[in-house]
Amino acid sequence: MGLEEARTQVDTAFTRRGRKGLSFENAFGGATSFLRRSYTKDLGGVDVAVTGIPFDQAVTNRPGTRLGPRAIREASTLQTFDPPWGWDFDPLSEFSIVDYGDMAFDYADVAAFPRALQEHVAGILDNDVATVTLGGDHSISLPIIAAYAEKYGPLALIQFDAHSDTWPDDDFERIDHGTMFYKAVKSGLIDASRSVQIGIRTVNADPLGIRTISAQEVHRNGVDWVANAVRETVGDKQAYLSFDIDALDPAFAPGTGTPVWGGLASWQAAAILRGIAGVNLLGGDVVEVSPPFDTTGATAIAGAHVAMELLCLWGWTRRKS
């Protein structure tokens, strides 16, 4: 740790010079941008914009994920002193990553939200900047993927989740955090044949052609088998990764709206994410962190680590070394 930097750095979300490099600001103080990156709306020269979507009006059980982006940012301050463990490069030093802040929207005009979110993300993508999104409930993934598909065409989906979220819903005006991937498949936004779900442990009779790897299969076959299965399924297809924090067992992530027992351990999720390095990842999100039910902060910590892994996966195929 840079002791001299720790003595002098404060509020580096606003005061840091340059957009690359680690940060040694005290974890317990200062403005809590994600990973102490610069807060900015200027996307010139930026590689990845981290943006928060504090929306939770589509949940089926416990609310609170509107507070997720704030909690994940705060938890991320523990990760800024060293390169991420388990990778042989440092995306914070090699790439220009910024905190683009949260999306502004009218909380009372729920019907207008999906279009507003799609335009928010499209505005970032128009600058040839990738996104890592902090949710928010899982319904936010549909407008985000729509923005990506509009620019890049149909994507492979890599989904970590306790639920398939492909329950049938042909009312495309409804906003629901359990039907968005049904709509994404039916709308041609994702290529089901090249998509995969990991950690599933709830019943859905029709996965719509998406490969499903249950939590039990993860436990039985091991993380290397899972990572290989993901790489084989996705191939070289351009991919989007959506990580619902309830993919983790409630023992590791209690702060979520629809917890299901028998899920992944933190180490399993970390190993799988690192094991799929090399997939052609365009962007991703981490969703369903609900701080009101996160009694120890463990869920937000897990969410912050997942978001860092998304940055590593995105950077892996673009790194210089």
Query: Once rounded to an integer, what is the mean pLDDT over residues 219-240?
Result: 98
Q: What's the confidence (pLDDT) of residue 287?
A: 98
What SS3 class is residue 291? helix
End-to-end CA distance of the chain: 23
Query: Once rounded to an integer, what is the mean pLDDT over residues 122-128?
Result: 98
The reported pTM is 0.97
Residues 26-60: pLDDT tens digits? 999 999 999 999 999 999 999 999 999 999 999 99
Q: What's the confidence (pLDDT) of residue 195?
A: 98
Query: Once rounded to an integer, what is the mean pLDDT over residues 241-265?
Result: 98
Q: Is 224 annotated as a binding residue?
A: no
CA 180 to chain centre: 16
Residues 279-289: pLDDT tens digits? 999 999 999 99
Residues 72-124: pLDDT tens digits? 999 999 999 999 999 999 999 999 999 999 999 999 999 999 999 999 999 99
CA distance 52 to 69: 5
Q: What's the confidence (pLDDT) of residue 6?
A: 75
| 3-316: CATH topology | Arginase; Chain A (3.40.800)
Rounded percentage of the chain residues whose pLDDT exceeds 70: 99
What are the structural domain ranges in the chain?
Answer: 3-316
Q: Residue type at 135?
A: G
Q: What is the DSSP string of 41-57?
A: S--TT-SEEEEEE---T
Q: Is 163 annotated as a binding residue?
A: yes
Rounded percentage of the chain residues whose pLDDT exceeds 90: 96
Structure-block tokens of residue 64: 């609170």
CA distance 202 to 167: 11
For residue 4, pLDDT over 80 is answered with: no
Q: Residue type at 163?
A: H
For residue 2, pLDDT over 80 is answered with: no
For residue 201, pLDDT over 70 is answered with: yes
Q: Is 120 annotated as a binding residue?
A: no
Q: Is 246 annotated as a binding residue?
A: yes
Q: Is 219 annotated as a binding residue?
A: no
Contact 195, 213 (CB under 8 A): no
For residue 65, pLDDT over 90 is answered with: yes
Q: What's the confidence (pLDDT) of residue 198?
A: 98
Dihedral over Cα of 316, 317, 320, 321: its sign:
positive
Average pLDDT, the chain: 96
What is the CA angle 198-144-184, rounded to 5? 60
Q: What's the confidence (pLDDT) of residue 321?
A: 63
